[in-house]
Homo-oligomer: A and B are copies of this chain.
């Protein structure tokens, strides 16, 4: 079954789609990447994910799997002869799942708040919250990495993928708004970790450069402004 054709529906700007591509890279799985236009969703996407109508979707032979974290775990459990993405023992797996839930349920919603914040003061307030909410992750990094490069140890693991895929957008936001989220004064370990993550061979090529994301964001904002003006 693991020799079936693998397709990923997504956009390269989506950190959630990036997670899937990196997981497949770690397992050395060849895949076809099908670029979706989210303003005009394909029939294939609507059929593959009728519940959420969202990317990413993994199509593996006859199997269709949705939701980035569900897909990453599926990849880890399907291509078992590649490096492990989740740790092997139940306690470490639980710790990884705990922090991954923290990233998606507590930290990422603050990123959405940043998008909605109106005015300099409101933006700075969210910046402060985002920085503070990284402090527990800095502590988790120290414990999980045990002095090695990544949350997953010598190699990129489940927490690395989940948090790391946001780094492109973090850099894009810094370029566009001057907002800094990973700062040396509060989370020095994560600043260095982020640099290592973006240089990793499994990551390069899976994520767009921050400058490209800035272009995409500017285009999106211009479109929104034009719509609001109509």
Contacts and interface: CB of A to CB of B under 8 A. Distances in A.
Given A74-B94, A77-B93, 9 more contacts: A51-B136, A65-B91, A66-B98, A69-B97, A70-B94, A70-B101, A71-B94, A73-B94, A73-B97
Nearest to A62: B91
A98 B136 contact: no
A132 interface: no
Contacts of A74: 90-91, 93-94
Interface string A52-96: 000000000001011101110110011000000000001101100
17 contacts: A51-B102, A63-B94, A65-B98, A67-B97, A67-B98, A67-B101, A70-B97, A70-B101, A71-B94, A73-B93, A73-B97, A74-B90, A74-B91, A74-B93, A74-B94, A77-B90, A77-B93
A90 B66 contact: no
Nearest to A105: B105
Contact of A63 (B51, B91, B102): B91
A71 B93 CA distance: 10
Contacts of A67: 97-98, 101
Nearest to A140: B51
Q: Which 5 A-B pairs have the closest CB atoms?
A: A77-B90, A74-B94, A70-B97, A78-B90, A65-B94
A221 B91 CA distance: 39
Contacts of A98: 65-67, 70
Interface string A129-144: 0000000100000000
Interface in A182-228: none
A29 to B, nearest CB: 13
Contacts of A69: 97, 101
Nearest to A70: B97
A71 B94 CA distance: 7
Nearest to A97: B70
A102 B50 CA distance: 13
Contacts of A78: 90
A123 to B, nearest CB: 25
